[in-house]
Chains A and B, each alone.
Chain A
Amino acid sequence: MLERTGVPTEEDLAKVIPPEERRKRGPYAVFECFQRIPCDPCYPACKAGAVKPFDDINDLPVVDLDKCNGCGACVAACPGLAVFVVDETFSETEALVKMPYEFLPLPEPGETVGCLDREGREVCSGRVVRTVKGKDKMATPVVWVAFPKASCHSVRHIALRRGVA
């Protein structure tokens, strides 16, 4: 379980991954936020009004997926780096995931990277589509990565391949 391993279970994820009908309609945010902690910056960050107001700051975020347009403002804002935007409509074969990435150097658009799962295992190769650095140098950069659709619910990090033979 999450509190022993640090990795959310299938059961945890089933609560935050939208139904297939919504997933086919375009990009959506996945809040991998499963523990009640005093934290609410996702609410003011969402300009689409998709994150519902918090009654108690310890509540888990509730997302209105009809309002979520997949912009990714929450990805950069979440202090826990726990939000990802998934777009399964990106292309015929590829999904696009917008993920937080706080490492240097930042990947360049077009760069091929390793796509890692929630335990850091490489599951496939991906292509960087965009790197959004954010407003100031301390904001969390968001990297847009395209990779085969089948892995869109497992890939959550990337590894640069520079300097690797």
Chain B
Amino acid sequence: MRETEIAVVGAGPAGLCAALAAASCGAAVTLIDREERPGGQLVKQTHKFFGSERQDAGTRGIDIGRRLSERAMSHPGIRTMLECTALGYYADGVLCLEQNERFIKLKVKRMIVATGASERMLAFPNNDLPGIYGAGAVQTLMNVHGVRPGDRVLMVGAGNIGLIVSYQLAQAGVKVAAVVEALPKIGGYAVHASKIRRLGIPILTSHSVKEAHGKEVLEGVTVWRLDPGWRGIPGTEMRFDVDVMCLAVGLSPLTELLWQAGCEMKYVAELGGHVATRDDNLETTVKGIFVAGDASGVEEASSAMVGGRLAGYAAAASLGYCPDFETKKKQALWELAELRAGPTGEKIRKGLAALRGEAC
């Protein structure tokens, strides 16, 4: 059976940073990802990141992903397994994988789960028409494959993903008819909203989708205003003739592996759904299994990178590597606290407090 000291599942921002941190201490790492290239969602992020210099602020996500991927792929301590899916983890420390239609067993001493998150769907009549996409799919089409998703788009959701993808669509020359948001205010950063407003794209807050229209494919969408009880108000309907509707209505952590491994899970709405309870070192209730990134609670890439680094050092330290772990841990916790300190971090702070069983 193949062996490794630390298996990292998911090579997005959290997984790459976890693998690099653990390997930099001398641990033997196997980095696993189901895609053909590492980077996770970073490969689609053409906007410049926020944060500070320590988290590569001002650098575009795609460049951060490239840089981290190159470092991980060329690191002698990291073995990368791409187009490889983690299937299950068993109590004797065996991680089962599938690659090239082959079943592989990997004996691991520690595992870091950095599997990311999946996009949420929205319920409305005809939501199965071709032309209705998740925002991530639209980004993949445009930014990975260079394919225009359509000619005219209605964006649903004014969180950062909805705002950023609207901007990317406009950059690709696709007309964005409007951004629709059910909440009474814009959830994403104001600067992202201002960027698309000056392109002439309206943002309709307190509005949601009533229904989609079309025979074979999407031809239009009816939107209506919501009352404070989230019910559509008859008579406020507006129709948009669009061939694409893009849903950016939130993410849920991808936690199957953690459930299957027997980690204690808790539902925390602010973190996007069920997440694993864990200690300061991001170690779950199953000893030896750590979590990082969106799989541990939906947040954003800068904090995913710092969290991944912390999990990587912690896993290495638990194997006797990383003699200055306490210093490194302190630094990471400080950076996380700083990133989450402002009003935009309130939801995460509340979610993490709930996860720890504290009132916030």
Contacts of B53 in A (CB 8 A): 40-41, 44
Q: Is there a chain A Cβ closer than 8 Å to B341's Cβ?
A: yes
Contacts of A138 in B (CB 8 A): 59-60, 62-63
Contacts of A82 in B (CB 8 A): 191, 194
Task: Determine whether the beta carbon of A34 is less than 8 Å from that of B197.
Answer: no
Q: Is there a chain A Cβ closer than 8 Å to B47's Cβ?
A: yes
Instruction: Please report the C-alpha to C-alpha distance between residue A120 and residue B197 in the assembled complex, in whole angstroms.
Output: 6
Q: Which of B59, B198, B345 contacts A116 (CB 8 A)?
A: B198
Q: Is there a chain A Cβ closer than 8 Å to B112's Cβ?
A: no
List B residues 187-218 near A (Cβ within 8 Å).
Answer: 189-201, 203, 205
- Which stretch (A5-13, A63-71, A125-133) binds chain B? A5-13
Beyond A3-B186, A57-B51, A79-B47, is A39–B194 a contact (Cβ under 8 Å)? no
Instruction: Please report the C-alpha to C-alpha distance between residue A6 and residue B200 in the assembled complex, in whole angstroms.
Output: 11
Task: Determine whether the beta carbon of A7 is less than 8 Å from that of B195.
Answer: no
Task: Determine whether the beta carbon of B192 is less than 8 Å from that of A80.
Answer: yes
Residue of B nearest to A38 (CB): B339
Contacts of B192 in A (CB 8 A): 80
Minimum CB–CB distance from B143 to chain A (whole Å) comes to 13
Task: Determine whether the beta carbon of B171 is less than 8 Å from that of A102.
Answer: yes
Contacts of B63 in A (CB 8 A): 138
Instruction: Please report the C-alpha to C-alpha distance between residue A36 and residue B198 in the assembled complex, in whole angstroms.
Output: 21
Contacts of A165 in B (CB 8 A): none
Residue of B nearest to A100 (CB): B195
Instruction: Please report the C-alpha to C-alpha distance between residue A79 and residue B167 in the assembled complex, in whole angstroms.
Output: 13
Task: Determine whether the beta carbon of A80 is less than 8 Å from that of B191.
Answer: yes
B62, B190, B203, B338 pick with most chain A CB within 10 angstroms: B190
Beyond A35-B344, A38-B341, A79-B49, is A120–B185 a contact (Cβ under 8 Å)? no
Instruction: Please report the C-alpha to C-alpha distance between residue A77 and residue B59 in the assembled complex, in whole angstroms.
Output: 9
Q: Is there a chain A Cβ closer than 8 Å to B342's Cβ?
A: yes
Instruction: Please report the C-alpha to C-alpha distance between residue A41 and residue B58 in the assembled complex, in whole angstroms.
Output: 6
B53, B185, B198, B338 pick with most chain A CB within 10 angstroms: B198
Task: Determine whether the beta carbon of A4 is less than 8 Å from that of B48.
Answer: no
Q: How large is the interface on A (under 10, 10 to 19, 20 to 34, 35 or more residues)?
A: 35 or more
Q: Is there a chain B Cβ closer than 8 Å to A98's Cβ?
A: no
Contacts of A58 in B (CB 8 A): 338, 341-345
Contacts of A164 in B (CB 8 A): none
Task: Determine whether the beta carbon of B50 is less than 8 Å from that of A79.
Answer: yes
Residue of B nearest to A42 (CB): B58
Q: Is there a chain B Cβ closer than 8 Å to A118's Cβ?
A: yes
Q: Is there a chain A Cβ closer than 8 Å to B353's Cβ?
A: no
Task: Determine whether the beta carbon of B50 is less than 8 Å from that of A119.
Answer: no
Contacts of B62 in A (CB 8 A): 138
A-B contact pairs, 20 of them (CB 8 A): A3-B186, A6-B190, A35-B343, A38-B50, A38-B52, A39-B57, A41-B52, A41-B53, A44-B53, A79-B50, A82-B191, A82-B194, A102-B171, A116-B200, A118-B194, A118-B197, A120-B197, A120-B198, A138-B60, A156-B198
Known: A79-B50, A80-B50, A80-B194. 12 other contacts (CB 8 A): A2-B194, A3-B186, A36-B343, A37-B191, A38-B51, A38-B339, A41-B52, A45-B58, A81-B191, A102-B171, A118-B194, A157-B199
List residues of A whose CB falls within 8 A of some B CB: 2-8, 32-41, 44-45, 56-58, 77, 79-82, 102-104, 116-121, 138, 140, 156-157
List residues of B whose CB falls within 8 A of some A CB: 47-53, 57-60, 62-63, 170-171, 184-186, 189-201, 203, 205, 302, 338-345
